Amino acid sequence: MEFKKTKGNVALVFGASPLLPEDSRLKMHTGLDLTNAESTLRRLGTISDIAAVTHVYFVAYTGHGTTPENLVEHNSAIVDNALMAVNVLCPNVNFVSLQTGGKGYGMVGHGWPPAPWKETLPRIPEPYASKIFYYAQHDVVARHAAASSWKWAEIRPSFLDLVARFHIHVSLHPEDTNGRAFNVGDGEPVSWQMKWPLVCNYFGLEGVGPQEQATGQAYGIDWLMAQKDSWPVWVAAHGLQPNAMDDVQWDILVTTLATPIRIDYDLTASREIEFCETLEPGKGYTLAFGRLQEANFLPDGRGN
């Protein structure tokens, strides 16, 4: 949980990374159990100036590796508990920004709509809808907003680096964003044919195009899991964080790499509210890699 003061505004971020830059405006508060309503209220109540909070950004997540039903139950509960506490402790809140993602546009078993995906697409029907926790989180925030004076929006990021800046932009323009969902990306969608060479070049590698997998050949994450005994050696050799390999949610990477579609978002709505920042293709990835290297989760240097 991050507490940030800026001129005229105080932001409360649920789910902030512990790897924060040195900045006197930032304060990290730990020990918050969002799964418990009473302890959430009690813990937030210990923060000095909590009543001064003007903007809330919710990017927390829990229950990874469990069933879709558990994900819905737990992730809707943590939003509910956070907002119940905010409504009691933060009388000056103007805006709540909820981060979700693209799962609501399609899923394995149901399929995906033609790209690019717009925020106005209808929800996936049952029996799939009740397994998508983004829908449940959206409904929780909408319910709280209906009984409160603050405004809100849902942010649906793709793989990008500009999402935090977009959260802030949306929250500072409530007259145009209240009650709406917004896609956000680093720019217009491009294929991996363009991005893959950029990623490879960052690590000093030479990329190749798609190749047919040989029979019995370990591929991707399967190969990495087969090398698990070597992980401690790699971590020690490069001076990485002790949990640099073990705490990664590898199954998300499997899903990301194996999904046989392009994840293309329609960014018209974000442009209509005058968020026009872009990054060149692949730049969001290399910026993220650089931050991971600074935090000792990736080796330093090209190809090292």
DSSP for 170-235, please give it.
HHT-HHHHTTEEEEE-SSS---HHHHHHHHHHHTT-------PPPTT---THHHHHHTGGGHHHHH
Class of residue 302 by CB neighbours under 10 A (exposed 0-12, middle 13-18, buried 19+): exposed
Spans of all domains in the chain: 2-189+265-289
Residue 304's pLDDT band (cuts 50, 70, 90): very low
The per-residue pLDDT for range 50-96, each reduced to its tens digit, is 999 999 999 999 987 789 999 999 999 999 999 999 999 999 999 99
* Structure tokens, 76: 């809707």
Give the Å distances, CA to CA, from 266 to 98, 173, 195, 238.
19, 20, 19, 40
Q: Quick one: pLDDT at residue 303?
A: 47
Fold for the domain defined by 2-189+265-289? Rossmann fold (3.40.50)
What mean pLDDT value characterizes the chain?
89
pLDDT at 6 over 70: no
Longest Cα separation, the chain: 62
Q: Quick one: pLDDT at residue 229?
A: 95
d(C-alpha 113, C-alpha 132), whole Å:
16
Average pLDDT value for residue range 135-143: 99
Residue 96's CB is within 10 A of a number of other CB atoms, namely 25
What is the side-by-side order of every strand in the sheet holding 2-6? 26-28, 2-6, 9-14, 55-58, 95-99, 151-157, 180-184
Q: Are 55 and 93 in contact (CB under 8 A)?
A: yes
* Structure tokens, 172: 């500072």
Q: Is the Cα torsion angle 254, 256, 257, 259 positive or negative in sign? A: positive
Q: The whole model's pTM is what? A: 0.89
